[in-house]
Structure 1
Amino acid sequence: MGDIAVWLVVALVGIVLALAAWRFFGLRSRGTTVVLRPLPASGTHGWRHGLVRYEGEELRYYKLRSLAPVADVIFDRQALHLASHRDMSAREASFMAEGSRIVVMEHGNEQWEVAVDMRTEMALRAWLESAPDVRQERPNYRVLKRRITHLRRR
């Protein structure tokens, strides 16, 4: 019985290490580093380091300290828009990259703040502005089905 428990622990540690390696090496090289937090928030609470990837009509956010094989937050291109921006506070500047500024995004009825550099903000703005009008798009039934099943799991 003791040998089985040891092997189960070794297998579990191996799975965790494999997920960490995939997350670190697989995502890190193919994304843009950002710092994100949901609003309302106060002070410096709620900021999470991670990276974003543009995948079709979705902006996917992966937390730096997460081992999940899927995105932690998914923003739909048609529901996302940039509301405003602001400079970092002195306390925020202590743990964010120099030259970053805070962009307030609205996604449906949620608000988020994301700390980005100038190039990342331009890329995000260009990606949003280049989206085709909703009236011109044909519905992708696979994406709709995935969204419905994702909402049911919440």
Structure 2
Amino acid sequence: MEIVTWVLIVFAVLAVLLAIWRFLTLRSRGTAILLRRLPASGLHGWRHGTIRYNGDDLEYFKLRSLSPMADQVFTRQRLDLHAPRQVSPAESGFMAEGLSIATLCDAGTHYEIALDQHTLMALTAWIESAPHERQERFDHHRIRSRITRGQNDK
């Protein structure tokens, strides 16, 4: 019985340390948002969290999660951002003033994301600056001719 108690204490201490680490590291590096997966009815499904840009990925970390990894990862190549809407009167009860709600589509899955105007502008710019999926293929013959250009003259 004593071993079980110590194991539970160790797990509780680890959970608290992980929560503190996650709170301190994400709070200073991320942008606060609210996110919910669609379809959702009424006010259900909204989750507070932070987003962080990591190369071509947008990482979402839930506020009430202890995982050291991102809870949701969006890839820039697959994202579509639709026009924002205003916060409804019912939603304004738990959302900060000045937020807009945009629809974010990730490979067929739709989300609503509540963010301020500056964050919306940054997210829009980040998505639109993504390189196109169809990139030029290398012309191997042209590259080989450039590499061997002076070797045939000898």
TM-score range, shorter chain: 0.7 to 0.9
Sequence identity of aligned pairs in percent?
Answer: 51
Give the whole-Å Cα distance in 1 for the aligned partners of 2:128 and 2:136: 15
Q: After TM superposition, which residue ranges in structure 1, 4 or more long, deviate above 4 angstroms? A: none
* TM-score with structure 1 setting the length: 0.85
Tell me the residue number matched to 1:21.
20
Q: Which amino acid aligns with 1:17?
A: V
Query: Where do residues 23-42 of structure 1 align in structure 2 (5 Å cutoff)?
Result: 23-42=22-41
Letter matched to residue 9 of structure 1:
L
Moved more, 30-39 or 80-89: 80-89
Name 2:57's counterpart in structure 1.
58
* Letter paired with 2:116: D
Q: How does 1:1-154 map to 2 (within 5 A)?
A: 2-136=1-135
Distance 1:46 1:107 in 2: 17
Query: 1:54: how far off?
Result: 0.4
Q: CA 1:17 to 1:97, structure 2 compared with 1: closer, same or farther past 3 Å?
A: same
- 8 Å Cα contact 1:84-1:105 kept in structure 2: no
Cα deviations across residues 14-38 of structure 1 (Å, max 9, x unaligned)? 1101110111001111000000001
Amino acid of the residue matched to residue 130 of structure 2?
Answer: A
Q: Any idea what SS the aligned residue of 2:33 has? A: strand
CA RMSD of aligned residues (A): 1.3
Q: Secondary structure at the match of 1:84?
A: coil
Higher radius of gyration, 1 or 2: 2
Q: Which has the higher helix share?
A: 1
Change (3 A) 1:137 1:45: farther
The offset of 1:137, in angstroms, is 8.0
Unpaired runs of 5+ in structure 2?
A: 138-154
- Residue correspondences, number: 137
CA drift at 1:135: 2.3
Using a 3 Å threshold, how does the CA distance of structure 1 residues 111 and 9 change in structure 2: closer, same or farther? same
Q: How big is the shift at 1:78? A: 0.3
